[in-house]
A and B are shown apart, each in its own frame.
Chain A
Amino acid sequence: MPAVQTAQYDEMFGPDGEVRAAYAGYDAWYRGQDQGWLRKQAAEAEGFFRRTGITFNVYGDDAGEERLIPFDMVPRIITAAEWRRLSRGIEQRVRALNAFLHDVYHRQEIVRAGKLPERLLRENAAYLPVMAGFVPPGGVYTHIVGIDLVRTGPDDFMVLEDNARTPSGVSYMLENRETMMAMFPELFTQVRVRPVSDYPRRLARSLAACTPPAAQFSAGERPTVAVLTPGVYNSAYFEHAFLADQMGAELVEGSDLRVVGGRIAMRTTRGWQPIDVLYRRVDDEYLDPLTFNPDSALGVPGIMDVYRAGGITIANAPGTGIADDKAIYSFMPEIVEFYTGEKPLLQNVPTWRCSEPESLQYVLDNLAELVVKEVHGSGGYGMLIGPTSSRKEIAAFAAKLRARPDNYIAQPTLSLSTCPIFTKAGLAPRHVDLRPFVLVSPNGVDITPGGLTRVALKKGSLVVNSSQGGGTKDSWVLED
């Protein structure tokens, strides 16, 4: 497999320091600003986030129970042409993911065709037998998807990860834009940026298009949508509340819900009221103590029976985790081609499956150059970044890898593109990725122009996860 090591690509500046076309308007504005004033604005942004309570709870850190994700005020800018190309690739991929999910829970044609080892489904905790033979309302499995993209060159966008379970971060996409518009209103009169603010409306519409068979409406009635949160101490609670608020939906916890007359109902001040669509931000295993983890207090006993009987829509459908599993990820090129009949428009990052002896040997021999991830991990935990690890750390990781090779995949250390951040000394390049948010309904695939740009604030660092000290940026898609 080829090593993907190219010269670093910067989003704003070309190799000779010239400003790229995407940043022409921003650069003109930036050069006209007083540096002292910009520093003051940067400091005030933090106060704004604190006051509005846009905080993030970090697990295992008592003192920092509510932390801010640092916000950088230099936007990440994408041209209209780049976005058109990306959108086509994203739509193709998301359609393939949904077709794949339908297939693995029905005839498993992809396994029969010899394109995917059956063991990857059978031995996978993310594969839920309870979903076999069942078609979710509207035929939609992943109502909300986040596709993590990285860039390594002018035309080289790659998918680093698919998030098909409960992708988070969309509230930051929205609040980052609000913050930028509050801080620099005149900037938005000089550069035409496509708006993102109607995402909650699009989400509500998309969810409402997937009502379950049991839901019945009189004329003029709207389906009842609720957001299920694990509660106020969850790391993404702010986002759950934010989305419910913006959609005009109820924000419910498991303790508010029970099965009443074959429906899932919430305890209101006037009695039990049925819910039609549940946008759940609770993981599969906690969703129903009768079907999954019996100790879960976050879910609703019996919800899976109601779901299978057509009493409620659950978004995303249980069992979608099988599509964003990192072991499955390495098969995405085959998956896209199998279901769409087209070559993938967006490339995968080359991936070694450590479950295969030849690959394992290669990975063990080249640990110092590779990134190794847990198949089921997320949030940047439990991974090895070879080039920045000590010999001792690498040796320790090699032992873990030998003990459970099928728990890991490896990828080359990508030279992620950089984008300038604002520092006391002016602009300085830092590595970024991009997570656009995609909505799926029977009416089609809807991609909000923009997304969440995560940025590694430490110089040279490649880890952009907010749980590991990463920050975020406003992400602009320019008008044509």
Chain B
Amino acid sequence: MLGRSANGIFWMFRYLERAENTARLLDAGFRMALTRGDSASAEEWRSVLVTMGLEQAYAARRSDFTGPQVCNFILRDKDNPGSVLAMIEGARTNARMVRTAITREVWEATNESWMTLRDMLARPARETNLGEVLGTIRRQATYVRGAMDGTMLRNDIFNFARIGTFLERADNTARILDVKYHVLLPSVAWVGSSLDHVQWETVLRSVAGDRAYRWLNAGGMDARGIAAFLILDGRFPRSLAFCYEKLRSNLASLARAYGEETHAHELLRNAGARLHQTTIEQIVESGLHEFIVDFIACNIDVANAIAQDYRFTD
């Protein structure tokens, strides 16, 4: 396949994944705002912006952190190149570029998603329909993923799509942890006040992990357990360990098909080993924040190595 096509499908799925994760993040923020006072929710909206790396762009335009303003900035603001609408457009433009690499079903799902969300986001979202808008974003991403799963040949094209998905997902989960690590630090959260519970619940919700976590822990909740769940639990599809296992297997398929490993394989093997051999105690001991910062940097290195090894650009 063309290096340009690999690049296109990689970014198509990164954008889709980011759009979906953004919807979850907003959903968690929205729920927090409904259950807490104004100051707590303003803080929550600010942290959503920080997680997405949009705090400066937002601050340049507004000073108040209220739900509708933040949501609409993130969802559809024309001045925000990182808006959900821009991501969906980016996914669709890339899909159009790699039209010959995807099935008709995947293309039509992507195109329909773009049409649906473009129409839906033509007007500002209000509190009354925000839930519906966010639900539609999640559903459309699921739709494309389902078309992908059901119709695509399992070859290098598929591998690059999955690699884009899981690199992005790992990055998104890590960024949520990076912004929220302080609520998961034992020294602060040991007491387990009701505010802590709300905070923890928000973190879990923003990665669609609240239900799974409660089920695994019989309803109990503690900071260290949540951190371990999001970083190390290989059963949870948005944990770092899960994403890296998927990256490993997709890169391994590429190496099998192409008959050789690349620099990216080596980087990933090292990163995977670090995740595999460590415990949550060791992570907290040597610094949860430092661990996350290192992880995000490593994730970027892996992405760059893949782009270079597989000739994404000239």
Alpha-carbon distance between A255 and B2 when the two chains are bound, in angstroms: 11
> Do A52 and B314 form a contact, CB below 8 Å, given A232-B93, A269-B1, A269-B156?
no
> Do A268 and B2 form a contact, CB below 8 Å, given A51-B111, A53-B107, A255-B314?
yes
Chain B residues lying within 8 Å of A245, measured Cβ to Cβ, are 99-100
B195 to chain A, nearest CB (A): 47
Quick one: CB contact mask for A178-207 with B, threshold 8 Å, 1 for yes? 000000000000000000000000000000
Chain A residues lying within 8 Å of B107, measured Cβ to Cβ, are 52-53
Chain A residues lying within 8 Å of B97, measured Cβ to Cβ, are 232
Would you call A52 and B111 a contact (CB within 8 A)?
Answer: yes
Alpha-carbon distance between A251 and B314 when the two chains are bound, in angstroms: 17
Q: Is there a chain A Cβ closer than 8 Å to B276's Cβ?
A: no
Q: Is there a chain A Cβ closer than 8 Å to B224's Cβ?
A: no
Residues of B in contact, count (CB < 8 Å): 23
Q: Which of chain B's residues 1-53 have a Cβ closer than 8 Å to chain A?
A: 1-6
**Is chain B's binding surface mostly helix, strand, loop or mixed?**
helix
Quick one: CB contact mask for A226-257 with B, threshold 8 Å, 1 for yes? 00000010000100011011000111110110
Residues of A in contact, count (CB < 8 Å): 23
Chain B residues lying within 8 Å of A52, measured Cβ to Cβ, are 104, 107-108, 111
Chain A residues lying within 8 Å of B1, measured Cβ to Cβ, are 250, 268-269
Q: Is there a chain B Cβ closer than 8 Å to A50's Cβ?
A: yes
Would you call A241 and B311 a contact (CB within 8 A)?
Answer: no
Q: When the two chains form the complex, which single residue of B2, B100, B115, B314 contacts A269, counting CB atoms closer than 8 Å? A: B2
B90 to chain A, nearest CB (A): 13
Q: Is there a chain B Cβ closer than 8 Å to A341's Cβ?
A: no
Chain A residues lying within 8 Å of B108, measured Cβ to Cβ, are 51-53
Alpha-carbon distance between A256 and B2 when the two chains are bound, in angstroms: 8
B314 to chain A, nearest CB (A): 7
B87 to chain A, nearest CB (A): 18
> Do A251 and B99 form a contact, CB below 8 Å, given A266-B2, A267-B4, A268-B2?
yes
For A249, the closest partner residue in chain B by CB is: B100
> Do A255 and B111 form a contact, CB below 8 Å, given A241-B96, A241-B100?
no
Chain B residues lying within 8 Å of A256, measured Cβ to Cβ, are 2-4
Alpha-carbon distance between A435 and B160 when the two chains are bound, in angstroms: 40
Q: Is there a chain B Cβ closer than 8 Å to A270's Cβ?
A: yes
Q: Which of chain B's residues 100-129 have a Cβ closer than 8 Å to chain A?
A: 100, 104, 107-108, 111-112, 115
Alpha-carbon distance between A38 and B96 when the two chains are bound, in angstroms: 32
For B111, the closest partner residue in chain A by CB is: A53
Chain A residues lying within 8 Å of B310, measured Cβ to Cβ, are 269
Alpha-carbon distance between A341 and B257 when the two chains are bound, in angstroms: 57
Alpha-carbon distance between A59 and B96 when the two chains are bound, in angstroms: 19
Chain A residues lying within 8 Å of B3, measured Cβ to Cβ, are 256, 267-269
> Do A270 and B4 form a contact, CB below 8 Å, given A51-B111, A232-B96, A241-B100?
no
Q: Is there a chain A Cβ closer than 8 Å to B258's Cβ?
A: yes
Which residues of A line the B interface, CB within 8 A? 50-53, 232, 237, 241-242, 244-245, 249-253, 255-256, 266-271
Given contacts A244-B100, A245-B99, 14 further A-B contacts (CB under 8 A): A51-B108, A52-B108, A53-B96, A53-B108, A232-B97, A242-B99, A251-B99, A266-B2, A267-B4, A268-B3, A269-B3, A269-B310, A270-B258, A271-B311
- 10 A-B pairs within 8 Å (CB atoms) are namely A50-B115, A52-B108, A53-B108, A53-B111, A245-B99, A250-B1, A250-B100, A267-B314, A269-B3, A269-B160
